[in-house]
């Protein structure tokens, strides 16, 4: 349930202090210590999962619902123009803390937040083959 060497287990379960936005039996929503923007929140399950790919469906569904609820609260609180809900899985994908968490980031028309990637292009044939390759494992 709780992993001894996991900082987010300690934050989620109230062992370490946090700026808590919301708490229930299964989750805690806290402010990110290095926010991308004011109000940047993290949805943390109290139970340890390394990331979304390791978590059970019930936890994942509840985490997404809670992220949307947090987004609505942020809109009410700050009147932001948009909300990014994002979640990283694995070091190569930018994950730095290996306990499932969902970022909820308030956005304004002119803010300093940046998520960038170079857009690629594949032929129709490559796209069809790619979809089929993935589909085999669904
Ligand atoms: P990741 O890169 O794994 O998706 O996101 C980890 C997030 O956790 C980062 O945005 C980072 O600022 C935040 N973070 C790391 N350590 C702490 C901490 O001790 N307290 C809080 N509130 N946030 C943390
Ligand atoms: Zn943990």
pLDDT digits over 68-113, tens only? 999 999 999 999 999 999 999 999 999 999 999 999 999 999 999 9
What whole-number distance in Å separates Cα of residue 8 and Cα of residue 101? 9
Q: Is 97 in the pocket of ligand 1 (CB under 6 A)?
A: yes
The DSSP H or E segment spanning 70 is: helix 57-78
> pTM, whole model, 2 decimals?
0.97
Contact call for residues 19 and 30 (beta carbons, < 8 A)? yes
Tell how far the Cα of 118 is from the centroid of ligand 1, in angstroms.
Answer: 25
Asked if 37 and 113 count as a contact pair (C-beta separation under 8 A), the reply is yes
CA-36 nearest atom, ligand 1: 10
Residues 120-138: tens digit of each pLDDT: 999 999 999 999 999 999 9
């Amino acid at each position: 349930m709780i992993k001894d060497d996991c900082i987010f287990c300690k934050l989620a379960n109230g062992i370490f202090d946090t700026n808590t936005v919301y708490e229930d039996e299964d989750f805690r929503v806290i402010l990110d210590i290095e926010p991308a923007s004011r109000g940047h929140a993290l949805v943390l399950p109290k139970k340890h999962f390394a990331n979304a790919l390791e978590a059970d469906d019930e936890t994942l569904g509840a985490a997404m619902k809670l992220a949307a609820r947090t987004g609505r609260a942020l809109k009410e609180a700050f009147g932001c123009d948009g909300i990014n809900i994002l979640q990283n899985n694995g070091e190569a994908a930018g994950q730095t803390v290996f306990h499932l968490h969902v970022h909820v980031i308030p956005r304004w028309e002119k803010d300093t937040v940046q998520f960038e990637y170079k857009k690629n292009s594949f032929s129709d044939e490559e796209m069809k083959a790619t979809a089929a390759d993935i589909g085999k494992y669904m």
